[in-house]
Amino acid sequence: MSITLEPIGTIYTPFKTKEGMPIQSGTARGIKGQIILKEEFIQGLTDLDGFSHVILIYYFHKSSGFDLLTTPFLDNKKHGVFATRAPKRPNPVGISVVRLLRIENNIIDIENVDMLDETPLLDIKPYIPDFDVHKTEKKGWIENKTDNLHKTKSDKRFY
């Protein structure tokens, strides 16, 4: 089976290189970006402005190859790629929850961006806390590793 996805738009951010980027949108508070949606998708934005946050699904366009065991940013030990959010994956797809600031025609202003400039956007979904927030009992290997999360930035390990 082959799957073909076409970008619905492009995400523009201040991050021209991978090094020094926030590693998650929750650590990118206040960093603004913009989405330019392809014009044929404008009607699909109807009523999206009623949400404060959206989930962006995008393609890691500067990522190539992958290892099934990888060392994530918050650890020095290897973990299975599916137990991490590493950008080098069998299918290099990323997700981020960002704040929706404004929609004007096909231009969407957002903040809390943690992706590279000119990232191809695959989909937008409304963030709905009643659906998307879950009480968890376990946090796996990341338990007790998030103390310095806001200070942790992307480095060269996924180049």
Q: Of the given ranges (15-29, 57-71, 80-94, 98-112), which has the lowest mean pLDDT?
A: 15-29
What is the signed CA dihedral for 22, 27, 32, 35, rounded to 10 degrees? Answer: 70
Domain contains 17: yes
Pairing between β-strand 93-104 and β-strand 32-37 as defined by DSSP bridges: unpaired
Q: Which domain holds residue 65?
A: 9-151
Which tens digits make up the pLDDT trace of 51-67? 999 999 999 999 889 99
User: Cα angle at 60 between 63 and 116, to 5 degrees?
Assistant: 100
The domain that holds 72 is classified in CATH as 2.40.30.70
Please state, in angstroms and rounded to a whole number, the distance separating the CA atoms of residues 27 and 22. 6
Number of domains present in the structure of the chain: 1
Residue type, 123: D
Which tens digits make up the pLDDT trace of 93-121? 999 999 999 999 999 999 999 999 999 99
